A and B are shown apart, each in its own frame.
Chain A
Amino acid sequence: MMVNGEPKLGCATFLAEYAPGPVQIEPLSNFPIIRDLVVDIDDVMRKLVEVTPWIVREDDQPLKAGEYLQTPTELDEYQRYSMCINCMLCYSACPSYALDPAFIGPAAIAIAQRYNLDSRDQGSRERMDVLSAPAGVWACTSVGACTSVCPKGVDPAGAIQQYKLTSATEALKTLLWSRGTR
C-alpha cells in the first residue's frame, strides 16, 4: 500500500519510522481500487504469465541423465531477478504503467529476464515476441522508480535496460542477416 505517498510493504513498514506522524495510507496506486485498501491486480497477474515465466526446453533431458547442472557463476547471472515476490510496488511506482496500462511492466520483464538468463532455459525466442512488442520493454522510459522501491533489490530497471540492448542487437542481426542471405 502507499504510506505517505510512497509504495511500501505494509508488513515491513514500522510506525516507529513515522513517529510522531500522522501517517497517510492509501491503496496501491496505478491499480483500480475495489474498496478501501483493496486493489484489483488481475492485469499484472495476467502479464506475469504472458512472459512464459518457466523453464522452456527444446529438448528435454531424460530422467536418467539426472538434474540440469548449473555453476554458481551461471546462477549469479539471473539470481537477482529471481528474488521478486510479486508485491507490485514497482507497478505502483512506474509512471509509464500509470500512463499506459498496456505496458507489461517491471516485474514481468524482470521475471522474463530471470528465465532468459537461466542457463537451463532455451525459451528466449518465445519470450521475445511479448517483450519486444511496443507494450513490452519499449514502453519503458527508464525512470528507474521501480528499482528504488523494490524491497528485494531485484533491479527491474537494469533488467529492462539489458533487454533493450539484447532486443536491439537481435533486431539488427536479423536485419543484416536477412539482407545477407537474399
Chain B
Amino acid sequence: MNEVYQPRRYQKPIPVFWWLRRRSYFVFALRELSCLFVAWFIVFLLLLVAAIGAGPERYRQFLMWSATPWVLLLNFIALLFVTLHAVTWFNQIPQAIVLRLRGWRVPPIWIVAPMYLLWVVISTVAAWVVIGG
C-alpha cells in the first residue's frame, strides 16, 4: 500500500453574522464599531473648530445645529460607544503590559487604576479649560 487514503474533508461555512452567535463576539463587534463613532467625533470636532474660527455667528449656528434631535441622538449613541471603547481599552492594558518590580509581579489593578485616574484628571482639566475656569 503506497497511497494513504485521504477522506474528503468538510469545511463548515462560517455564517455571515458569525459575530451575533456569542455574547463575547457581539461585544467585540460593538467595540470595533466604536471606531466609527471616534471618526464621527473627529468630524464633529473639526466642524466645531471651523465654526469657532469663522466667528461668533457661525459658532452660535453650530450650537443650534448640535441641539437638533438627530445630532443629539447621534452624539448620545456616540458617547455610549466611546465609553465602551474606553472601558474595553482600559481592561486590555494590563494584558499587554506586564510590570515587574524586582521580581514581584505588579497586580493588574495597579496598572488599570492609575489609567482611570488619569482619565478623570484629564477630563476634569479639559472641562475646566473649555467651560472657562
Contact = CB atoms under 8 A, between A and B. Distances in A.
B10 A76 contact: no
Contacts, number: 53
Interface string B91-110: 01001111010010100000
Given A98-B18, A99-B14, A142 B24 contact: no
B31 to A, nearest CB: 9
B96 A144 contact: no
A143 B92 CA distance: 10
A179 interface: no
A175 interface: no
B92 A161 contact: yes
Contacts of B28: 95, 141, 143-145
Contacts of A143: 24-25, 28
A32 B10 contact: yes
B111 to A, nearest CB: 13
A158 B91 CA distance: 11
Interface of B, helix, strand, loop or mixed by DSSP: mixed
B86 to A, nearest CB: 15
A76 B24 contact: no
B95 A161 contact: yes
Interface residues of A, number: 26
A162 B18 contact: no
Interface residues of B, number: 22
Interface in A13-51: 29, 32-35, 40
B19 interface: yes
Contact of B95 (A34, A73, A98, A162): A162
Nearest to B18: A95
A134 interface: no
Given A33-B12, A34-B7, 18 more contacts: A5-B21, A5-B22, A32-B10, A33-B9, A73-B103, A95-B19, A95-B25, A95-B28, A98-B14, A98-B18, A143-B24, A143-B25, A144-B24, A144-B28, A145-B22, A158-B96, A158-B98, A165-B96
6 contacts: A33-B9, A34-B7, A35-B7, A144-B24, A144-B28, A158-B96
Interface of A: 5, 29, 32-35, 40, 71, 73, 76, 95, 98-99, 141-145, 148, 155, 157-158, 161-162, 164-165
